[in-house]
Amino acid sequence: MTRTVIITGASSGIGREAAIALAARGAEIAVVGRNAERTRAVADQVGGTSFVADFDRLDDVRTLAADLLERYPCIDALANNAGGLVSERSLSADGHERILQSNHLAPFLLTRLLLPRLLESGGRVVSTASVANLFGHVRLDDLDWAKRPWLGGWRQYGTSKIETILFVRELAKRTGLEAFSFHPGIVRTGFGQSSPMWRLANVVSNGSFGISASAGALPLVQLAGPTTVGVPSGTYFDQLKPDGLRIPQAKDDHLAEALWDRTSEIVGLPSAV
């Protein structure tokens, strides 16, 4: 039976490379992206279906979930890969800080809305996190990072990756679903183009800073594929190595539970699943 894999952030970077690799292994790919032209191009390349959604709008996420549920009677894997860094603090259409929304609120909402189908299918959730979790700090009273210096968004980006790791841990705990997060490595993609620090690193390295997108996609391909992972659900990987480096907050079960409850409230869902 053909394996159905949904990949967000699949119009470029490691999402695109994962879509190509998984399609080559026989999977049917739902290619989700914000740019309609690039998303359609990747879908055409991999023989999949394109879905356009802007994660700065939670109504787009709700529409996306409804479209995916209508299209796919079985979902074998959901890869939450969309997100990014915003160098100047700004708010989404829903009034939330944009890094928080695109990296945490939107994938949380999408996963929750697809959860019944994932459970029926015995599916798996894979979320792109980052070693940047090491310089983040979650404050439940300041998820929108309105009370702290912005500093180019890097600390909020790292915080969003703590939130990704915690979400995956709590998802595994509450549902019994297979769920994993991973750091893809420092990858040469369009990520962080608005960041002066990131641009400087590329200039200094003559464009060779980081690994290729195809190399960064390997953990996503492996974890979203049919192979048994062989480690406890909820595990965070550093590339293909389980139990990657995490800040103590990313291991805090009480924080994971509280973040789940607060996020559910923000996106208008009950905490219970």
Q: Give per-residue pLDDT as tens, 209-247.
A: 579 999 999 999 999 999 999 999 999 999 999 999 999
Q: Which two tokens stand for residue 117?
A: 């189908």
Alpha-carbon dihedral sign for residues 150, 153, 154, 157: positive
Q: Give per-residue pLDDT as tens, 174-223.
A: 999 999 999 999 986 554 444 454 443 343 334 445 799 999 999 999 99
pLDDT above 70: residue 93: yes
- Determine phi and psi for 69, rounding to 5 degrees: -65, -35
pLDDT of 197: 46
pLDDT of 19: 98
- pTM here is 0.92
pLDDT of 188: 67
pLDDT above 60: residue 92: yes
User: DSSP E strands: which ranges in 123-225?
Assistant: 124-128, 178-183
Q: In percent, how much of the chain has pLDDT > 90? A: 91
Please, is 142 exposed, middle or buried when counting C-beta atoms within 10 Å of its C-beta (0-12, 13-18, 19+)?
middle
Task: Give the domain 4-267 fold.
Answer: Rossmann fold (3.40.50)
Q: Which of 96-105, 130-139, 198-207 has the lowest mean pLDDT?
A: 198-207
Which residue out of 108, 145, 157, 236 is catalytically annotated? Answer: 157
pLDDT of 207: 43
Q: What is the largest CA-CA distance in the chain?
A: 51
For residue 85, name the pLDDT band (cuts at 50, 70, 90). very high
For residues 33 and 19, give the distance between their C-alpha atoms in angstroms, rounded to a whole number. Answer: 12
Tell me the Cα Rg of the chain. Answer: 17
Q: Which of 82-86, 166-170, 194-198, 251-255 has the lowest mean pLDDT?
A: 194-198
More confident residue, 208 or 114: 114
pLDDT of 189: 55
pLDDT of 1: 82
Mean pLDDT of the region 100-128: 98
pLDDT above 60: residue 255: yes
The domain limits of the chain are 4-267
pLDDT of 209: 52
pLDDT of 182: 98
For this structure, is 236 an active site residue? no
Q: Give per-residue pLDDT as tens, 36-49.
A: 999 999 999 999 99
